[in-house]
């Protein structure tokens, strides 16, 4: 895929928008740079899950899963739904889902097929 080239005489407004988008991308990449958070997002990209379900699959303590989910909630990358005493998590941002799907295609799909 060929990317458009930024012209040398691009208006300052266009440069400012690019800076803001770079900041957003950087924040997403920081969140994805943690192995457990990335695994959680991969799982949530497949389906909505509870902390217990995530804990069983990822194999880390419940406190760790909860801590990483709190960070993802803070970034507004995941959302919750309560059903009785259970809280279910899902990806809340389509941009996050798209990046996670791309990473899956590059790193996971080849070893899972």
One pLDDT digit (tens) per residue for the chain, 113 residues:
676 787 888 888 888 888 898 898 898 899 889 999 999 999 999 899 999 999 999 999 999 999 999 999 999 999 999 999 999 999 998 999 999 999 988 888 888 76
Coil, strand or helix: which one is 103?
helix
Tokens of 81: 């739904």
Tokens of 69: 């989910």
For 53, counting Cβ atoms within 10 Å of its Cβ (0-12 exposed, 13-18 middle, 19+ buried), the class is middle
9 part of a folded domain: no
75 part of a folded domain: yes
| Tally of structural domains, the chain | 1
Who contacts 40 (Cβ-Cβ below 8 Å, separation ≥6)? 54, 58, 65, 68, 69, 72, 89
15 part of a folded domain: no
Q: Please give the DSSP secondary-structure letter assigned to residue 8.
A: T
45 is in which domain, residue-wise?
35-112
């Amino acid at each position: 895929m060929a990317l458009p080239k930024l012209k040398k005489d691009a208006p300052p407004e266009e440069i400012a928008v690019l800076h803001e988008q770079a900041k957003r991308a950087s924040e997403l990449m920081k969140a994805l740079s943690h192995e457990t958070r990335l695994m959680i997002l991969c799982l949530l990209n497949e389906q909505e899950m509870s902390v217990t379900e995530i804990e069983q699959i990822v194999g880390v303590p419940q406190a760790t899963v909860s801590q990483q989910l709190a960070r993802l909630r803070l970034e507004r990358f995941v959302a919750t739904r309560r059903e009785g005493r259970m809280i279910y998590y899902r990806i809340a941002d389509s941009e996050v889902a798209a990046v996670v799907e791309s990473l899956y295609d590059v790193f996971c799909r080849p070893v899972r097929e």
